[in-house]
Amino acid sequence: MYLKVLKENPNFRYLWLAQVISLLGDWFNTIALSVLVAEYSNGSGLAISLFLMARFLSPLIVSPFAGVIVDKFDRKKILIYCNLLRTGVVLMFLLATTPDTLWLIYLLTILQFTLSALFEPGQSAIMPSVVKRENLVIANTLSGITWSAMLALGAIVGGVVASQFGTATALIIDAMTFALAGWLIAQIKITPEAKTIISHDDHEHHESGSFMDGLRYLARNPATIATLLIKGGGSIGNVDLLMTVMATQLFAIHGDSQLPLGIMYSAFGVGAIAGPLLFNRFNDGSVPRMRYLVAFGFFLEFLGWVVLGSIGSLTLVSIAFIIRAMGGSANWVYSTVIIQKSVPDRYLGRVFALDMAIFQFATVASTLIHGSLVDILNQRTSQPLLMLQETTWESQIRLINYTTISHNLSLIAYGTALVSLIPLILWLIALRYAKQRKLQKAQNEYTPLNTNN
């Protein structure tokens, strides 16, 4: 079924291959830069938070403008230009070679993810024009599990490459993948039939294509507003930050934190692959069914945080990330398909841009809160796990600090689990409200019929 869509649709195949290649490079970049920031900042939780925030804050700021651009201009060209520009930006990371150039990593990260703010909604918005409506669930599941597979593969391979060959090699590979992805997208051919369908997708031809028109569309469609909260609700708590802290302060192997970080990212990737594939066994492709499956996805995210709170070993932590990723990945796929199936094409760029903006806002807030909590709770705790040799006295201090850091991270995980119940409860309320509205609408349609009889 999945391979059939790839085989019979060359345009989607090019888009998918571009995603495979660029995502593989992305994880080389993520592993290398995360460890570099931790090294240059002496493991500061706030410094790592600022790095992660640079990845998410810039898209949050530019998303409203990005959505308008995606809806007004050629989406294919936008994807190509974004990839070519990101090639140059990633190569400039090679200039950051000392702790004094930490600011350059932040600046270039902002530039890279500003371009991503254009690319991501553009990729989601172009999907209905290269894939048949009945294949949207399959296509988006493929995209979702591709992200996950590249996380599982790219994270572990990126960790090994960065560890063995250095961050420069990892960054050069990332730049090359962006260039190749741009070439692949250039091979996509949007058919005249697809363009015709897109241009006549609804009756609202008077709208100007502005950001405010997008907001007015949302005001008329509260169900779409609720859908926009799925990705944001699933972003409560920043797993990237906690992974980096755990890798550098708890699970470093002979001073090497890149391998355990790669293992945790890979575990997350495995869960993100399994989630949509498992959920699709119960999915009939309808919007109502996907909405109910989203509720179960929120529950798995909550359960993942609870398991993470135990922090007994790298294996148990990896299992927690698998569970957390299963729910988050399924919800990501289904929220995207729901938007593609229920929103007219002329609004897709702006709606997806807002979707990403809400996701970025939740991620930035979580990153700042988690980073601050790590620094506050660990401010009296040194980082002895990076020592290669130690005396008996130093070994005892090391064990005490390990236990303290583990306990602090456990408190953060349990607290995040409690907060993650909020989107689950709100979504259940929204489902009940939607069901009541559907029944009321059916009664209103039935009553006049009886009166006429």
Phi-psi category of residue 283: left, alpha or beta, with phi > 0 → left and psi -120 to 50 → alpha: beta
Distance of CA 231 to the CA centre of its chain: 8
pLDDT in tens, 99-125: 888 889 999 989 988 888 888 888 888
Hunting for tokens 């953060």 — which residue is that?
412
The least confident of 69-73, 211-215, 392-396 is: 392-396
Distance of CA 37 to the CA centre of its chain: 21
Coil, helix or strand at residue 102: helix
Take residue 57 and report the two structure tokens written for it. Answer: 């804050």
CA distances from 126 to 55, 123, 198, 305 (A): 23, 5, 10, 34
| DSSP one-letter string for 250-261 | TS-BTTB-HHHH
User: Do residues 277 and 175 make contact, with C-beta atoms less than 8 angstroms apart?
Assistant: no
pLDDT in tens, 189-212: 876 555 444 444 444 455 666 778
CA distances from 42 to 46, 195, 248, 254, 370 (A): 11, 53, 10, 17, 17
d(C-alpha 17, C-alpha 114), whole Å: 23
d(C-alpha 372, C-alpha 368), whole Å: 6
pLDDT in tens, 259-289: 788 788 888 888 988 999 899 999 888 888 9
pLDDT at 326 over 90: yes
Q: What percent of the chain has pLDDT over 70?
A: 84
Hunting for tokens 């995980």 — which residue is that?
413
Nearest residue to 362 (alpha-carbon basis) of 265, 218, 247, 239: 239
Please, what is the Cα angle at 251 between 304 and 396, to 5 degrees?
120
Highest mean pLDDT among 45-54, 96-105, 247-256, 413-422: 413-422
Domains located in the chain, CATH noted: 2-190+208-452 (1.20.1250.20)
Q: Which residue has the higher pLDDT, 340 or 209?
A: 340
Which residues have a Cβ under 8 Å from the Cβ of 246 and sit 6 or more positions away? 260, 264, 311, 317, 409
Nearest residue to 410 (alpha-carbon basis) of 310, 322, 315: 310
> What letters, b where the CB count within 10 A reaches 16 and e where it falls short, cover 400-435?
ebbeebeebbeebbebbbeebeebbeebeebbeeee
One-letter amino acid for residue 40 of the chain: Y
Q: Which residue has the higher pLDDT, 266 or 163?
A: 266
d(C-alpha 223, C-alpha 244), whole Å: 37
Nearest residue to 45 (alpha-carbon basis) of 311, 378, 361: 378
Which residues have a Cβ under 8 Å from the Cβ of 393 and sit 6 or more positions away? none
pLDDT at 377 over 60: yes
CB neighbours of residue 444 within 10 Å: 9
Take residue 96 and report the two structure tokens written for it. Answer: 């950051």
pLDDT at 424 over 80: yes
d(C-alpha 261, C-alpha 246), whole Å: 8
**Angle between helix 314-342 and 345-377 (nearest 10):** 160
